[in-house]
Amino acid sequence: MAAATAVFGTAELSEMILLHLPMRDLLRVQRVDKDINAVISGSKALRRKLFFESAPGGPLTHFLNRNGTISSYSSGERAIYKKRVRNLPEGMEEAMKFDEMWHKGKDAPGVPVPVELNPVFAYAMREVERAMMAGNFTQASLPSSWRRPEASWRRMKMTQPSTEFTLFIQYWSVRVSKTVATLPVRPDTDLGQLVDTIYERPYIDSIKKSVKSFIKRKTLRDIHFVPAFSYLWDLARWKS
């Protein structure tokens, strides 16, 4: 016990140990132990792992190659993407064949940059979707863990590195699907700010107007909050 106390009493050693924890576990321990919370607050690497701070590399620009091939952008260097392993290109000649990619700067294409979607973003959107599917259009209808103003998820970034993208708010009925609103998301936007904005006018009014009639007729199938670049969705998983 004394040895363990000594280890966790050293910030550098604590950081090395905590960096090996899965994100889910790291979020849990920082809530129950004030010393570990202090280590996380003082560690840039741990703050970035929890999406509290953006990793270097931004601002990023999205490149869409209209004359591209069937090649596709890698979600990361040897990252699992739709159960297949894809690599970043070895050089610019290969990069020019990509359909889409994130890169630094405005002159496209540049050197592709892996972008990771915060898995908590996906969980938050699912809770909002469930509430609205039940006809509830206020934040008060969300589970209590998603309503606490001091909750950790509220200060998280959506992606690493932070990127600018558009959130499409869509509904699907038995016969039609429609985008009812688009919400621009800036690189410096926190997840809490994004959820707050969804419930503000004009977004919530557009959603209610389009969706309520389908709920009444029992023809609504789904409501989706989809990032403009849907391949980001496939990165919504807990990272170890």
pLDDT profile of the chain (240 residues), mean per 10: 52 82 85 82 90 78 56 37 46 64 66 76 89 89 92 90 82 75 86 94 84 72 68 34
pLDDT at 67: 54
b or e along 23-46 (b: 16 or more beta carbons within 10 Å of the residue's beta carbon)?
Answer: beebbeebeeeeebeebbeebeeb
Global pTM reads 0.74
pLDDT at 168: 85
Query: Left if phi > 0, otherwise alpha if psi is -120 to 50, otherwise beta: which for 218?
Result: left
d(C-alpha 23, C-alpha 29), whole Å? 10
pLDDT at 122: 84
Is residue 115 within 8 A of residue 159, CB to CB? The reply is yes
Phi then psi dihedrals of residue 96, to 5 deg = -65, -20
Is residue 206 within 8 A of residue 199, CB to CB? The reply is no
d(C-alpha 233, C-alpha 119), whole Å? 9
Q: Which residues contact 48 (CB under 8 A, 6 or more apart)?
A: 54, 55, 160
pLDDT at 173: 73
Collapsed DSSP state (helix, strand, coil) of residue 42: coil
pLDDT at 58: 63
pLDDT at 111: 67
